[in-house]
Amino acid sequence: MEDKMVLVTMTGPDRAGIIAAVAGCIAESGARICDIEQSVAHTMVSLSVLIELPEGMRDQKPLLKELLFRAKELGLDLDFEPVDPQSYQLRQSGCMYVLTMLGSEVNAEVLTRVGATLAVARVNIQRINKLTRGRLRCVEFVISVPDGLDIKELTRQLLNAGVGLGIDIALQKENLYRRAKRLVVLDMDSTLIQVEVIDELARLAGIGQQVADITHRAMNGELDFQQALCERVALLKGLSSEALEEVYRALPFTPGAKNLVRVLRQLGFKTAVISGGFSFFTDRLKEELGLDYAYANDLVIENGKVSGEVRGTIVDGQRKAELLEEIARREGIALSQIIAIGDGANDLPMIGRAGLGIAFNAKARVREQAQYRINQPSLDSILYLLGIAEWEMAELEE
């Protein structure tokens, strides 16, 4: 005879001692707990316990009667239903994913639209977690996906829904690699900082619009990066090294950038900036933020002035990806354990190599090609994709 299973659910005011009382009853009866889940919203608790009744235990009534008595003592309502062991095994075999929703507010309309999209795809929500304090700004669903479902199509539908609702949505497989990231690689211009350094230098040189136009076309992938870089650097010939210092002192960090690096360092991550800009700036950022690695182009300065040339191998998109892999080899880190963040077309190769490649407030072409895209004002919102809650970040404050 097959063992019986029953799902017991208790709801009501939260208080200490609930688990001890419920588990005690089950232990005394000789039954076995197969699954257990508890959540608390404000002051109300919901506890679900899947109990397996062994073959020799023909009558489940004494156990349920005792659980009902304990529930009443604790001020809880109790409900139960039989569970088919075969259906339980089928539900357990589904692939698990984490769906993260992030925006200024994850409101009821968002949850309705996303929930309906999942329901049509026969996707079951196993657990819902809130990752922000106060107003709902980040919510994650842990979902069970039926075998054979087209994940790319589901992702496309969810991303389209997110655009229409003004939120970002990310769908990641829930596995060890999601929780075992070890290296974060960042672009500099318009990612770690809010400006394009070369445009700021050009502004001081009196050729701001001319260079900005070339930069815009290069970041959109309309121009070959190396050609565009050399063309712009040549226009900077004669600019004084004092101008470079002036630009560095005025660099505006992207909101949340310093907090992101601080949290990552305290959690033991390796951090790197790989830029198509200039080492004059990335070296200083490395020292200021405590980054582990910094790579960029070497701008030649002679007699205190920009020569109009760069020295050595140009850090274009392909070189960025190569440097990411070089760091990974040096640190003994798998590509699946890397997060790469950038905004321009030259970031796409490294974004594509990383286990979690993120287009951050990116150009249109980059948003279209990147697997993950975040359009939030604060760079540390990236941490939500790792399942790190707002209060956990606060615990790491220096």
Q: What is the pLDDT of residues 70-92, one digit of tens each?
A: 999 999 999 999 988 776 665 55
Q: What is the pLDDT of residues 7-57, one digit of tens each?
A: 999 999 999 999 999 999 999 988 999 999 999 988 999 999 999 987 766
Mean pLDDT score of the chain: 92
Amino acid at 379: L
Handedness of CA 49, 53, 57, 60 (dihedral sign): positive
Position 177 pLDDT exceeds 70:
yes
Lowest-confidence segment of 172-186, 189-203, 239-253, 373-387 by average pLDDT: 172-186
Query: Distance between CA 260 and CA 191 in Å, rounded?
Result: 12
- Mean pLDDT over 292-301 rounds to 97
Q: What is the pLDDT of residues 99-119, one digit of tens each?
A: 999 999 999 999 999 999 999
pLDDT interval class at 168 (50, 70, 90): very high
- Mean pLDDT over 351-369 rounds to 93
One-character DSSP codes across 109-175: HHHHHHHHHHHHTTPEEEEEEE-SSSS--EEEEEEEEPTT--HHHHHHHHHHHHHHHT-EEEEEE-S
CB 226 within 8 A of CB 314: yes
pLDDT interval class at 363 (50, 70, 90): confident
Give the catalytic positions in this structure: 187, 189
Which pLDDT score is estimated for 339? 97
Amino acid at 35: D
Position 302 pLDDT exceeds 90:
yes
CB 359 within 8 A of CB 379: no
Query: Distance between CA 36 and CA 82 in Å, rounded?
Result: 15
pLDDT > 70 fraction of the chain, expressed in percent and rounded: 96
- Mean pLDDT over 131-147 rounds to 93
Query: Distance between CA 272 and CA 286 in Å, rounded?
Result: 8
pLDDT interval class at 1 (50, 70, 90): very low
Helix (H, G, I), strand (E, B) or coil at 47: strand
Amino acid at 97: Y
pLDDT interval class at 93 (50, 70, 90): low
Query: Distance between CA 175 and CA 185 in Å, rounded?
Result: 21
- Mean pLDDT over 338-347 rounds to 95
pTM of the model: 0.85
Handedness of CA 40, 41, 45, 50 (dihedral sign): negative
